[in-house]
Structure 1
Amino acid sequence: MTATTAQLFSDTPLSARARLLESLKGPIGSIGVTLAATIIIGLVWTGPGFLSPSNIQIVGVSVAIPLIVAVMASFALLAGVVDLSIGSMVGFGAVIFNQLVSAGLDPWLVAGITIIVGAVVGLVNALVIVHFGAEPLAVTLGMLTLLRGLCQVIVVNAPPTTLVEPLYDLTQGAVLGFPTLLLIGIGLTFIAAGFVSKTRGGRKVQAVGGDPRAAARAGISVSRVRIAALVASGVGAAIGGILYVGQLGSASNVLGTGLEFQIYAALMIGGYSITRGGVGNPLGGLFGLLVVAGITNILNINFFDPDYLDLIVAAILIAAVLVDRLRGGDSFE
């Protein structure tokens, strides 16, 4: 056998295996393995019904709106800013939309107003953080408290019931057994992933989060990128609030409470970093949310105490952080 022939039969398969192992070592590969393990555990523990159309519908509905919010919030993380106000912004957006539609205003006009409010909240966060140099965690935590307080003030008694039929149909609809909202969220995820990995704009966001000083020296406007990222985060949260009203038909003053921690835990499991910008990919965030949703579903089917979910998610999160540290972490290059 000649050297060339030997290469055909030995080097090429080894190269393919090497590429596969390299991809599995990355954050998306790691969370992909975790998601596959979750599906296998679900099938073994609960039976074939775990992947039945009805159960997929249940899981899909539970994860769809958090996915849409997470995709938009992930831009702020990539830019090196943690927006803790997204959960309260979801609730505030839902309350505004619900109250104004119940007062008789056109739902589509109110939806536009709600999205503008979300953009303004993101802009206020950005101006305080970027132009005044305030600590992002402190600013967005303050905004979280402010918006939650406004929800309590606006919704004094039981919130009115709101049914916007096109919105309800959207949140309850399905295509080939998959929730329409989930498919929209997945589509948005792929668009965001393409933007982050394939466009100059996405590379700028990663550069700003990875090393803002180097990005500034390269001619990138760090302030503009971070302002845009925080505005996108606020808009995504406002859209999430609108969708929750469509799904639930109302908006309580506690809607969205704790959602920011659910979303950021899933994003960190999916390869994002709270402490380092420029790290992560929207596909990893999608996998992370599906892992958390799958574990929740397995526990619900088997009638486990919901408190076990926090323990399991915390263990997975710590393991994800440990794996990230062991491989040296990903940094923007």
Structure 2
Amino acid sequence: MTVEVTPTTVAAKRNFNFLFALTLVGLLVLLCVALSIATPSFATGNNISNLLRQGSMIAILAIGQTFVIITAGIDLSVGAVVGFSTVIVAGLIQQGVPIPVAIIITLAVGLAIGCFHAFGIVKMGLPPFIITLATLTSLRGIGLLMTNGSTINITNESFTLFSRESFLGVPNLFWMVVIVAIPAYVFLHLSKWGRYLYAVGSNPEAARLSGVSVPKMIFIAYGLSAMFAAFVGVMLAARLGVGNATQGDGWELQAIASTVIGGTSLFGAVGSVHGPLIGAFILATIANGANLLNVNSFWQRIITGFLIIIIVFFDQLRRRSGR
């Protein structure tokens, strides 16, 4: 059955996405107000800066994950890529490699990992879940072998100082989100490549018949996801001052949760850049507030799971309504 796309349906989708984004912003503001009332420590400058730093890295992971999920795929390896990238950049800096060169090499390694995922999916016919799950476990092992299970200390002060400094009163790590999000928004929402990603996620065969190179778009989506994860690894290494293959454990689940809470459909073809950003900071705010209130960390997981269930349920309703 062919669904006719008319200006009315396009407008309806835009209105729905706009209202959903407003709802997320409203939820985030409500959380901040409630926590400001519940604990005076929340609204302090130091805590807000810490909150922005906490949410920034997951937000960038969520943007990369969004590209993949829009194609109806999944990337379970991003947390392992983060940890592996801390080892790569820390090792390079320890060997005296200039910081810009070390960062570029680390990003190139991330891109290569993403291309490996796409190769497994496109050429070998492996499900995205399997190939990225295999990489998740393998990268942890490779990183531990490279370091003999130890931690690489970063003694370069100029590298680690960047993560602690601010620009215009805003932490540098948050500015990295802005630097990533703006071109990501242009790519996904204002370029033909973004339209191709949505087409692949909606119906890959129809996209192919329309002249879209489906394999190429798969390579782009997974390449960007892993490269963003490598970038987060560089940020994490700068913040902690160490390289350790076990860093970023479980971050892939936080990235997926942020993406889903931000309105990206796990069925593909639906998603945005701004939604996962808001979703990541909603989760960061919940975690930050729970810590300040001395709430058991188990409740944070329960709340996150509850939010995911609600969002996916409404996504199902949206799909049934044809929006």
TM-score, normalised via structure 1 length: 0.87
Residue in structure 1 matched with residue 228 of structure 2 by the alignment: 236
2:28 corresponds in structure 1 to 35
Aligned positions of 1:12-161 closer than 5 A: 22-23=15-16, 26-47=19-40, 49-161=41-153
| CA offset digits 1:20-78 (Å, max 9, x no partner) | x955884323322322221222123224x423321210101111122222222321222
SS in 1 for 2:185: helix
For 1:202, which of 166, 170, 194 is the aligned residue?
Answer: 194
Q: Once the 2 structures are TM-superposed, how far is the Cα of residue 330 of structure 1 from its aligned partner?
A: 8.7
AA aligned opposite 2:33: I
> Could you say what secondary structure the match of 1:240 adopts?
helix
Matched, 1:265 2:257: yes
**193-202 or 265-274: bigger deviation:** 193-202
Q: What amino acid is the match of 1:45?
A: A
Structure 2: segments with no counterpart, 5+ residues: 1-11
- Alignment partners' CA distance in 1, 2:320 and 2:251: 26
Q: List per-residue Cα deviations over 1:2-26 (Å, max 9, x = no partner).
A: xxxxxxxxxxxxxxxxx9x955884
Say if 1:95 and 1:304 are closer, same or farther in 2 by CA, change over 3 A. Answer: same
CA shift, 1:165, in A, is: 3.3
For 1:306-317, list aligned pairs within 5 A. Answer: 306-317=297-308
Deviation at 1:270, TM superposition (A): 0.6
- Output the CA distance in 1 between the equivalents of 2:50 and 2:187: 30
Could you tell me how far apart the structure 2 residues matched to 1:193 and 1:330 are? 27
Report how far residue 317 of structure 1 moved: 1.1
Q: Distance in 1 between matches of 2:153 and 2:277?
A: 31
RMSD: 2.2
Instruction: Please name the residue that 1:8 is paired with.
Output: none
Give the AA of the match of 1:68.
I
Q: What residue in structure 2 maps to residue 16 of structure 1? A: none
Cα distance change of structure 1 residues 123 and 197 upon mapping to structure 2, 3 Å threshold: same
Number of equivalences: 311
8 Å CA contact 2:144–2:150 kept in 1: the answer is no
- Against the structure 1 CA distance between its residues 53 and 131, is the aligned structure 2 distance closer, same or farther, given a 3 Å change threshold? same
| TM superposition shift of 1:327 | 3.1
Q: CA deviation at 1:224?
A: 0.3
Q: 245-254 vs 171-180, which deviates more? A: 171-180
Contact 1:167 1:243 in 2 (8 A): no
Which has more radius of gyration?
Answer: 1
**Retained in 1: the 8 A contact 2:258–2:279?**
yes
Query: Which position in structure 1 is the counterpart of 2:269?
Result: 278
- The alpha-carbon deviation at position 197 of structure 1 amounts to 1.9
Which moves more between the two structures, 321-330 or 93-102? 321-330
The 8 Å contact of residues 91 and 255 in structure 1, kept in 2 or not, is answered as yes
Task: Give 1:307 shift.
Answer: 1.6
Per-residue deviation, 1:152? 2.0
Q: After the TM superposition, which of the residue ranges 301-310 and 155-164 deviates more from structure 2?
A: 155-164
Is this contact kept in 2: 1:210–1:331, CA < 8 A? no
**What's the CA shift for 1:239?**
1.2
- In structure 2, relative to structure 1, the CA distance for the partners of 1:173 and 1:46 (3 Å cut) is same
Instruction: Give the partner amino acid of 1:209.
Output: G
Q: Can you give the 5+ residue segments of structure 1 that lack an aligned partner in the other structure?
A: 1-18
SS at match of 1:318: helix
Deviations 1:203-226 (A, max 9, x none): 111111121111111111011011
For 2:191, give the aligned amino acid: T
Which one is further off, 207-216 or 158-167?
A: 158-167
Counterpart residue number, 1:319 = 310
Aligned position for 1:166: 158
Q: CA offsets, 1:249-298, max 9 Å, x none?
A: 10223101111001101110111122x12211110001100100000111
